[in-house]
Structure 1
Amino acid sequence: MVAKIKSGKSLIGALNYNENKVKKGKAELIVATGYPKDTADLSFYDKLLRLTDLAERNERTKTNTVHISLNFANGENLPDDKLQSITSDYMQGIGFGDQPCLVYRHLDAGHPHVHIVTTNIKKDGYRISLHYLGQNESEKARKSVEIKYGLIKAEDQPKQKPDLKADISPAEYGKAETKRVITNILSFMLRAYKFTSVTELNAVLQQYHIQADRGSKDSRMYAHEGLVYWLLDKQGNKMSVPIKASTIYGKPTLKTLEEKFRLNQQLRKPFKAELIKLIDQALAKPQTKRSFQRELKAKGIQVILRQNEEGRIYGVTFIDQQNKAVFNGSDLGKAYSANLLSAKFLPETQTKVVKAQQTENDAVHPSTSDNDELLGILFAAEREDLAALNKFKKKKRKGLNL
């Protein structure tokens, strides 16, 4: 069993996530602990108000939402009553045994799993500390539950070999088992593409709705050089639970990847000069971000621009799809770094002005062919008169026998 705890500031957001799944037939509420009504009789506001009533007893604590998912090995037969017992024991183990909670069984993934929505504010207004809850109390509770109910341990879940005949298409959460999807796509990417950093790897993976994640720079995972893989939705939001690199077939951990980075530094070199040539050709004329991406895409080069909320470009990666070579802009030279490259792009509105000016110039200064056509129209009548005069003179000469 794998447990994932998320904390937040929006009880209604966590509740809406699960209730929307219920409306779509992708989840069902199997138990509501600490509620005065039967599960079937609870309205949306009944579910929400029970939790917000507790949260309002401690207005100083803004992080008052706890959203937990318990994920079980594919193939484990877990009826609702067993899941209820498992979640009850787990919540007791992490110190949430007296808290009201809603347990949803989700039906949209290849493996059985439940989501639990609760709050860390107790009825006396005190809060339950969430500090290190995941790595301390949760790990102890998880191991205890695995033993009691005979579940497959998280450490013992088999590493699935990649299906080399699988269709490599963008991942879709719930369509197949998460770990198998990640294993198949990642295995293909590691063999096919030449990348030299996690950023470059993600430029490729994100096109297939997967992301490699080291965690924030102040996290324990980052400090210990850990690595997990997520499934993403079409908007790039993280879905499901993270899969540890060490549990995936072939162990694509950071240490393993760094060895591949060094090898790829040499393997991608032969394709650098040609890529620079294609970029220079595109930049030889005025370009916006979009037109630049379109022009290079037509030549088999995918341009990934990383932008902040204000639209400022802070990173750029080029993927040569024909040669499967990946380069960050700065690796190609200073001129192709994010800052200098973005300075060359025109705003979309300015491009329209340039085109309008070109049209106006063409009208004022027509080309040679346009001039010839215009002159032909202006002097058409005179040419007809001249032809008639010549014809008359020929007849006159003929009459005089000249």
Structure 2
Amino acid sequence: MIGKSIRGILHYNEQKVAEGSATLIMASGFAYDIDKLDFAHKLRRFEHLICLKPSVSTNALHISLNFHSSEKLDDTKMQQIAAAYMERIRFGDQPFLVYRHHDVSHQHFHIATVNIKKDGNSIDLHNIGRIKSEQARKFIEKEFGLIRAESKTYHPEPAIKAIDPERIQYGHLPTKRAIASVVTTVMNSYKFTSLAEFNAVLKQFNVVADRGSEESEMFRKKGLLYSVLDRQGHKVGVPIKASSFYSKPILKRLERKFEQNVEKRKPYRADLKNRIDQAISKYEHITKQTLITELQKRGISLIFRQNEEGFIYGATFIDHRCKTVFNGSSLGKAYSAKALKEKLAENDKITTYLAKPKRINSYLKPLSEEKRLQYTEKINLSDLTVSTTTTDKILKDLLDPEYTGYAPSITSKKKKRRIKRKKP
């Protein structure tokens, strides 16, 4: 992620350290040892370089490298990986800080740095994520024997820990700090183009941004409140004003991101469509839950938007691998809510049809001698009490060892027709 505030990036990671959910494991290009570095030292080192070329406003870089949950890496190995990665993206000579985060199940670390060199020139950040970072990632996976992101055993996992609403409700977790961690990471990492898409990601981690009703003063003044959601999607705790957060996730700032992200997410559109197609084409018939599960394996969350009556009117795809958000219709007609509903409804009909029980008459066939003997061996006829009703009579006939087949009526021998002879 590239940005304009190294102070904000440092503040985010240092706050994680203060909470006990992160550790500074490496400080490359700094004159002091890690344990002697305070916030002022770190910020001053970066700002010294930024001042060499004030005309470059986008000068901060915040990188997150995530590993599969089965990987067990110590600090030394992570330091080696971080150094190799920075060399590959041509930032090896830049001062950078590496923070190991412990707030999710899989291991990962964050790197904070700037792109202004000591000679006053800047490092080009154009397509650094899509080109240089991808090449560096593949090299590191091979060099350090890591699970490859393209392998079948790798399932991308979001590098954000969802808020536990129960801890919020019972006062075991400060609401503002918990919301700030989620909102800041989502705002700086994901590429969304509307408040609805932004909320689609936030809700994955039990947070929502609310403008209030259209008739409210808050809505008219473009205010924004952030709240924690419980497991049923209801707001809990005290809502927090957007302007009170350090990262300032206010609507005006978000709207600028909406415009920028329209272009930024375009390079990832084809890859997302390809992974969706792979999930669907894997099955001849697919249900809604199966589709959601298959997409999750590919690092994609599918959210169906519906009204209070339960009518589905939209679908949103969140790509946690490339950090992009697309409405289904933005990907193409085949990925719209309408197209998906028709496909799933058609499959549901097929499933229902196949699940219909066969008519009982199909079972009323003559028993073979082998089957008859099997049944008679399993049943003790002396234990049966049979009434004289028609149903019980049929049952008795069916279980009779002498029975060779079911017939709805008993036929008797044909009586010989007596021919009357006329007397002579």
Q: What TM-score bracket applies, with the shorter chain setting the length?
A: 0.3 to 0.5
User: With structure 2 as the length reference, what TM-score do the two structures score?
Assistant: 0.44
User: With structure 1 as the length reference, what TM-score do the two structures score?
Assistant: 0.47
